[in-house]
């Protein structure tokens, strides 16, 4: 195996990780996920076989995943650093990470992850959803659910929820319980709770473990131990600040010059005497840790993931307001509320850059402001001092004129006269003016730098005692004061960072578990809110049922349009096909029916609703029906009507597909929408009749065909066939059509054109009315 730079980084992480982070360190992109959380998530998606004894295929190489060829393997290995890491990412269903690999887009990433999952657990969506249109209906429905997801993690993982076969009925029922609990929790949420969850979940994502080094100005790390030095370099500490090893005969103080903070590590506790001469040194012995000398690495983890962790802590607060049910308890157990509360408190002390926030520590704030204000303060004090001395002396009433004194002082400065001789030459009042103004300037500098009384003497010596104009500032003392302020700031910041970092490091596992828990919760909540908004219920699924029974069923797509204001109130329907506990009047357990009715009556919507409910149910989701009795079909077919009559070649292809349906010995649901368009009207009825005659012989199949040729099909079919009808019941007082969307069982629908002609006849007078009445009479004859 080729070991590249990324692989070495991963190995390095593994070497120094604690036991429960070894799995986390595997990810080439540094995203942390704990195995225990992943197993919990997989248990819901389908890998419950770990405990139930169901068969499972172990995938050990990328090449074992269907559809993953050499090119894709190469792209994944190059991106993740090794095949082992790439395979783990795929098997963990991380579509977002797979899609991030150059050359692999979102669609291909979904196909790779889905293929791995299907191969691993021996299921496939295409084996259940056997037609393009059945897959299209389910994908459109699933996209509505995915629209509720706030995280890419949940949105991508929902792709793995597809209809399962009868052999997985235990898994289906496990999901039913899980998502039933999700619906219960969602229905109990107050609007402000829902809003808070949505807002904070949108910030949750996988945690980045690798932290981009931030150069720490003014810090240096010294050691006299080669092993310590090697580890510091190996851990990349030199990317944060300079790291030096002190060889025999060298002095630490020589390396420490010019730095605000010096870290000295000596495992044996031996170091040269120059270390004691430093007033800005932190010394560590054999028990040192990376967090001791570079707390910014821990703080940096929280900084890079600041919004994620902050949102997780806020979500934990919302969780405390919810009474959990059985499934919700899993998420509650994944959150350590006390520790997350503490994390939230600590985060208030940090800004998003990982620095100690203002207002946390008064001393730190003073030195931070002093360091920042120092150049300006020096310049302003110097300008004020010279201007003030000049003004005061100019107003002097001594024997020598004020302007003469100023000239003397300026000349003395230019000629380098000694301070002592000048003091003797100048009147005492002038000397006093000079001294008092300098003292005021020092006080002003103390004030501008925010120094407290015991620190006031730090400014002594910055302004020269020499009497001259302009007044001299002492560069050495100026630099010394600035260095002192920087050291004080660095020392205080380091102490606080170390304090917070130490506690945050101990809390890291709680944060990691919380984030993964909340990613899974987002999927749970997404389905729950979908169930709440669309008024979904858990279906009654049994292998003893051999048909579909629906009461109060609604079409998902129509509900979506209604919620968007594009459709009026959705009218629920009842329908039954095959043997179930629901046996409405007009049915006798028939497994095949023709649904009649005019265009726009609701025939297509009815069979589309059946398809939505059956596919959702077999995926383990709740369904849009008040009551539903369903089997678990091995195959599900749906065919939308063709646009116009198909060609001879297309007709042949369609017939071959129909033949595959009727000869299949598997339990199946077959839904056809006006398939008479596949050939000319004279032959269509005979083709459909042959299809019905064969499908009726299989009691495990359920078939509904929408057709305008119901009467013609009945006339040529050699077996009894049930005809249901959706029709307008008549005209209201405004002569508008009254349509009952629930089919009438065993009833050939009255043609909508009859009602339209009837409406025209009632609105007309004279000869026009006679024309309409004649047409109406002929339509009535054709009906009988």
Pairing of strands 668-673, 728-731: unpaired
Among residues 574, 561, 558, the alpha carbon closest in space to that of 626 is found at: 574
How far apart are alpha carbons 735 and 583 in whole angstroms?
34
Unique residue bearing structure tokens 């059945």: 134
Whether 755 and 728 have beta carbons less than 8 Å apart is answered as yes
pLDDT at 321: 93
Q: List 629's β-bridge partners, or say none.
A: 540, 549
- The contacts of residue 327 (CB under 8 Å, 6+ apart) are 177, 178, 181, 182, 524
Task: Read off the pLDDT of residues 537-585 as tens digits, 9 standing for 90 and up.
Answer: 999 999 999 999 999 999 999 999 999 988 888 999 999 999 999 999 9
How far apart are alpha carbons 597 and 708 in whole angstroms?
7
Average pLDDT of span 606-630: 97
Residue 220: is its pLDDT beyond 70?
A: yes
Angle (nearest 5°) at CA 201 between 199 and 204: 125
> Assign residue 416 a region: left if phi > 0, alpha if psi is -120 to 50, beta otherwise?
left
Element (H, E) at 535: none
pLDDT at 71: 93
How far apart are alpha carbons 540 and 617 in whole angstroms?
9
Instruction: Give the distance from CA 618 to its chain's centroid.
Output: 26
Average pLDDT of span 218-224: 94
Backbone angles phi, psi at 396, to 5 degrees: -65, 145
Backbone angles phi, psi at 442, to 5 degrees: -65, -40
Which of the residue ranges 106-115, 467-476, 548-557, 705-714 has the most confident prediction, judged by mean pLDDT? 548-557
Element (H, E) at 221: strand 219-223
Average pLDDT of span 513-520: 92
How far apart are alpha carbons 468 and 717 in whole angstroms?
122
How far apart are alpha carbons 530 and 147 in whole angstroms?
9
Q: First vs last Cα of the chain: how many Å apart?
A: 79
Give the CA distances from residue 235 to residues 11, 16, 288, in Å, rounded to whole numbers and listed in that order. 12, 9, 14
Q: List 592's β-bridge partners, or say none.
A: 703
Whether 305 and 284 have beta carbons less than 8 Å apart is answered as no
- The contacts of residue 729 (CB under 8 Å, 6+ apart) are 738, 739, 740
How far apart are alpha carbons 695 and 687 in whole angstroms?
13
Unique residue bearing structure tokens 């003497």: 457
Task: Read off the pLDDT of residues 584-599 as tens digits, 9 standing for 90 and up.
Answer: 999 999 999 999 987 6
pLDDT at 276: 83
Backbone angles phi, psi at 703, to 5 degrees: -130, 135
How far apart are alpha carbons 324 and 332 in whole angstroms?
8
Higher pLDDT, 174 or 38: 174
Whether 745 and 583 have beta carbons less than 8 Å apart is answered as no
Residue 729: is its pLDDT beyond 60?
A: yes
DSSP 236: T
Residue 44: is its pLDDT beyond 50?
A: no
How far apart are alpha carbons 21 and 12 in whole angstroms?
13
Name the band, by pLDDT with cuts 50, 70 and 90, for residue 642. confident
Burial 747-767 (b: 16+ CB within 10 A, else e): ebbbbbebbbbbbbbeeeeee
Name the band, by pLDDT with cuts 50, 70 and 90, for residue 7. very low
Angle (nearest 5°) at CA 7 between 4 and 9: 110
HSE (side-chain half, CA atoms, 13 Å) at 778: 8
Average pLDDT of span 650-670: 84
How far apart are alpha carbons 123 and 765 in whole angstroms?
66
Angle (nearest 5°) at CA 17 between 208 and 302: 35
pLDDT at 732: 66
pLDDT at 555: 96
Average pLDDT of span 348-369: 91
Average pLDDT across the chain, whole number: 85
> How would you class 614 by CB atoms within 10 Å of its CB: exposed for 0-12, middle for 13-18, buried for 19 or more?
buried
Among residues 215, 263, 256, 206, the alpha carbon closest in space to that of 239 is found at: 215
For 517, the 3-state DSSP assignment is helix
Backbone angles phi, psi at 722, to 5 degrees: -80, 135
- The contacts of residue 254 (CB under 8 Å, 6+ apart) are 274
Residue 535: is its pLDDT beyond 90?
A: yes
Average pLDDT of span 708-720: 88
Please report the DSSP string for 597-624 in residue order: --TTSSHHHHHHHHHHHHHHHHTT--BS
pLDDT at 425: 66
Task: Read off the pLDDT of residues 9-43 as tens digits, 9 standing for 90 and up.
Answer: 443 343 333 333 333 344 434 444 444 444 344 43
Whether 125 and 111 have beta carbons less than 8 Å apart is answered as no
| Per-residue 3-state assignment (H helix, E strand, C coil) for 50-114 | HHHCCCCCCCCCHHHCCCCCHHHHHHHHHHHCCHHHHHHHHHCCCHHHHHCCCCCCHHHHHHHHH
At 756, list the tokens: 């339209």
Unique residue bearing structure tokens 């983890």: 301
pLDDT at 55: 58
pLDDT at 1: 36
Whether 576 and 609 have beta carbons less than 8 Å apart is answered as no
Whether 727 and 598 have beta carbons less than 8 Å apart is answered as yes
Q: Which of 31-45, 192-206, 248-262 has the lowest mean pLDDT?
A: 31-45
Unique residue bearing structure tokens 């304090």: 499
| Per-residue 3-state assignment (H helix, E strand, C coil) for 468-512 | CCCCCECHHHHHHHHHHHHHHHHHHHHHHHHHHHHHHHHCHHHHH
- The contacts of residue 349 (CB under 8 Å, 6+ apart) are 356, 357, 360, 496, 500
At 85, list the tokens: 């890491």
Task: Read off the pLDDT of residues 674-691 as tens digits, 9 standing for 90 and up.
Answer: 887 777 766 888 888 888
Task: Read off the pLDDT of residues 730-778 as tens digits, 9 standing for 90 and up.
Answer: 666 666 666 778 899 998 886 567 777 877 888 888 888 888 888 877 7
Is the bond preceding 470 in cis, omega lying within 30 degrees of 0?
A: yes
HSE (side-chain half, CA atoms, 13 Å) at 691: 27
Whether 434 and 389 have beta carbons less than 8 Å apart is answered as yes
Among residues 174, 93, 168, the alpha carbon closest in space to that of 124 is found at: 168
Residue 309: is its pLDDT beyond 80?
A: yes
How far apart are alpha carbons 266 and 481 in whole angstroms?
30
pLDDT at 87: 93
pTM over 0.85: no
At 34, list the tokens: 């704990």
How far apart are alpha carbons 345 and 684 in whole angstroms?
73
Give the CA distances from residue 193 to residues 201, 204, 563, in Å, rounded to whole numbers and listed in that order. 12, 17, 21
Task: Read off the pLDDT of residues 384-429 as tens digits, 9 standing for 90 and up.
Answer: 999 998 888 887 665 455 555 566 666 655 555 555 556 666 778 8
Among residues 152, 213, 206, the alpha carbon closest in space to that of 31 is found at: 206
Give the CA distances from residue 715 to residues 78, 599, 723, in Å, rounded to whole numbers and listed in that order. 66, 22, 12
Residue 195: is its pLDDT beyond 80?
A: yes
Average pLDDT of span 119-126: 86
Pairing of strands 625-630, 546-553: antiparallel
């Amino acid at each position: 195996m080729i070991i590249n730079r990324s692989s070495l980084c991963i190995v390095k992480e593994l070497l120094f990780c604690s036991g429960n982070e070894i799995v986390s360190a595997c990810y080439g992109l540094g995203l942390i996920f704990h195995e225990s959380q992943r197993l919990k998530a997989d248990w819901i998606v389908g890998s419950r076989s770990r405990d139930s004894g169901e068969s499972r295929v172990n995938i050990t190489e990328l090449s074992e995943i269907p559809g993953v060829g050499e090119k894709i393997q190469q792209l994944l290995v190059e991106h993740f650093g090794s095949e082992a890491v790439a395979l783990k990412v795929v098997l963990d269903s991380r579509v977002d990470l797979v899609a991030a690999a150059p050359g692999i887009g979102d669609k291909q990433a979904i196909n790779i992850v889905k293929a791995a999952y299907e191969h691993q657990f021996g299921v496939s969506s295409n084996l259940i959803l056997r037609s393009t249109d059945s897959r299209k209906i389910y994908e459109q429905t699933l996209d509505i659910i995915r629209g509720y997801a706030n995280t890419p993690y949940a949105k991508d993982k929902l792709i793995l929820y597809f209809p399962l076969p009868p052999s997985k009925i235990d898994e289906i029922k496990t999901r039913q319980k899980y998502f039933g609990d999700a619906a219960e929790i969602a229905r109990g949420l107050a609007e402000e709770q829902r809003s808070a969850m949505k807002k904070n979940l949108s910030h949750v994502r996988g945690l980045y473990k690798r932290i981009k080094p931030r150069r720490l100005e003014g810090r240096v790390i010294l050691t006299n131990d080669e092993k310590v030095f090697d580890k510091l370099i190996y851990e990349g500490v030199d990317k944060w600040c300079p790291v030096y090893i002190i060889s025999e005969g060298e002095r630490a103080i020589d390396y420490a010059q010019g730095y605000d903070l010096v870290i000295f590590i000596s495992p044996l506790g031996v170091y040269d005497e120059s270390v004691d001469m430093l007033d800005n040194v932190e010394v560590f012995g054999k028990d040192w840790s990376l967090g001791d000398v570079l707390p910014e690495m821990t703080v940096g983890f929280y900084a890079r993931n600041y919004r994620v962790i902050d949102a997780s802590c806020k979500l934990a607060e919302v969780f405390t307001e919810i009474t959990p049910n059985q499934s919700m308890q899993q998420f509650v157990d994944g959150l350590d509320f006390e520790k997350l509360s503490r994390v939230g408190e600590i985060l208030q002390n940090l800004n998003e850059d990982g620095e100690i926030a203002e207002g946390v520590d008064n001393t730190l704030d003073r030195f931070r402001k002093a360091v920042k204000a120092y150049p300006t303060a020096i310049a302003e004090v110097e300008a004020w001092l010279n201007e003030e001395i000049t003004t005061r002396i100019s107003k002097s009433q001594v024997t020598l004129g004020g302007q003469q004194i100023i000239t003397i002082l300026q000349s003395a400065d230019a000629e380098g006269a000694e301070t002592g001789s000048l003091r003797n030459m100048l009147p005492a009042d002038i000397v006093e003016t000079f001294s008092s103004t300098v003292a005021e300037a020092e006080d002003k500098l103390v004030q501008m730098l925010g120094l407290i009384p015991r620190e006031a003497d730090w400014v002594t010596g910055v302004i020269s005692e020499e009497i001259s104009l302009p007044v001299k500032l002492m560069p050495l003392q100026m630099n010394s004061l600035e260095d002192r302020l920087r050291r004080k700031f660095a020392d205080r910041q380091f102490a606080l960072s170390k304090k917070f970092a130490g506690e945050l490091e101990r809390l890291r596992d709680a944060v990691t578990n919380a984030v993964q828990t909340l990613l899974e919760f987002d999927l749970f909540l997404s389905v729950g809110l979908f169930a709440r908004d669309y008024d979904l219920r858990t279906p009654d699924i049994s292998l003893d049922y051999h048909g579909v029974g629906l009461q109060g069923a609604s079409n998902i797509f129509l509900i979506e349009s209604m919620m968007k204001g594009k459709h009026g109130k959705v009218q629920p329907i009842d329908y039954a096909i095959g043997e179930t506990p629901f046996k409405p009047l007009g049915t006798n357990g028939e497994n095949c029916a023709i649904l009649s009715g005019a265009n726009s009556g609701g025939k297509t919507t009815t069979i589309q609703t059946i398809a939505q409910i059956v596919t959702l149910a077999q995926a383990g989701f709740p369904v849009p029906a008040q009551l539903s009795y369903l089997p678990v079909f091995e195959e599900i077919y749906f065919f939308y009507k063709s646009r116009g009559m198909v060609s001879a070649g297309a007709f042949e292809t369609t017939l071959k597909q129909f033949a595959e349906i009727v000869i299949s010995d598997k339990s199946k649901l077959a839904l056809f929408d006006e398939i008479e368009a596949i050939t000319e009207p004279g032959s269509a009825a005979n083709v459909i009749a042959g299809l019905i005659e064969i499908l009726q012989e299989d009691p495990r199949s359920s078939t509904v065909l929408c057709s305008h040729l119901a009467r013609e099909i009945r006339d040529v079919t050699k077996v009894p066939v049930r005809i249901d009808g959706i029709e307008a019941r008549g005209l209201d007082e405004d002569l508008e059509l009254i349509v009952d969307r629930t089919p009438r069982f065993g009833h050939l629908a009255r043609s909508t054109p009859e009602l339209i002609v009837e409406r025209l006849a009632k609105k007309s007078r004279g000869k026009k009315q006679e024309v309409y009445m004649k047409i109406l009479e002929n339509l009535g004859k054709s009906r009988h």
